Chain A
Amino acid sequence: MSEQKKTVSIPTNLYDAIQERVEGTEFNSVEEYVTFVLEEVIKDDDEEETAFTAEDEEEVKKRLRALGYLD
């Protein structure tokens, strides 16, 4: 089954720069490279949103102290 696609326009000079970068890599096209990079960006964002940060940890500790589970 073929994957549905949408067209996104990028500046020509950016396209050229990506094409140059893609040459000699495992990527077969600019499109493949751009798709990979964007997928990584989206994935990182998702991970950031659900990551248990040091700030979250402090908030949890506050709640646990209030509940008597932590000094």
Chain B
Amino acid sequence: MPNSNVNYIVSGLERSGTSVMMQMLNTGGVKVVFDDSRPPDEHNPKGYFELAGGKIINQLMAGTFDFEPHQGKIVKVTAYGLKFLPEGNYRIVYMMRNIDEVLNSMRKMGADIDMEKDRVLFGKLNKFSFELIDKRDDMEYTTINYRDVIDDPGKELQKIGLFLGEPLDIESAVKAVDSKLYRNRATN
């Protein structure tokens, strides 16, 4: 089991593969924290693997989210929420995905996306997240590319296992990856 004094986080922009990562870790034998307040839908047929119906950021902003019961387990906190994490001891798996794929997926979910403007906007948010993590002494991170997960999940899972300090059940975790759900693949 990972270190119980550490808060493990899966992060990244919304629609960057955070749910897939949570699902892989869950099937790979890591303790992952989520509830069923947002049920699976056509955008995430296998579920969101998140807390508070995805609105954990609201609780973090209000300072009402209690990490204590979740120490040593993995919680999903998307990129914007990182700035509200209280002092702790965090290891963050940060998902990276082609920004056009992220935006296309957001658009399909109903967000009003201007590709040109939002490419810059969410690029800035990624940069802001990394700067924030670098500035904080209580955070370590590794980046995982969504496309690499789809192309060679076993390799990425090994990398994640080393980062988390726990070997994963890679054979099981790989089964969580369904390349058919990679529906917004950019051509480049």
Contacts and interface: CB of A to CB of B under 8 A. Distances in A.
Interface of A: 50-52, 56-57, 59-64, 66-71
Interface stretch (B50-58, B65-73, B171-179): B50-58
Interface stretch (B123-131, B134-142, B146-154): B123-131
B110 interface: yes
B54 A60 contact: no
A43 to B, nearest CB: 15
Interface string B8-51: 00000011000000000000000000000010000000000000
B111 interface: yes
Contact of A64 (B53, B80, B124, B128): B80
Interface of B: 14-15, 38, 53-55, 57-58, 78, 80, 106, 109-113, 118, 121-125, 127-128
A52 B127 contact: yes
A68 B127 CA distance: 23
Given A60-B80, A63-B118, A68 B125 contact: no
B124 A66 contact: no
A63 B106 contact: yes
Contact of A56 (B15, B58, B124): B124
Contact of B57 (A57, A62, A66, A70): A70
A56 B121 contact: yes
A68 B118 contact: no
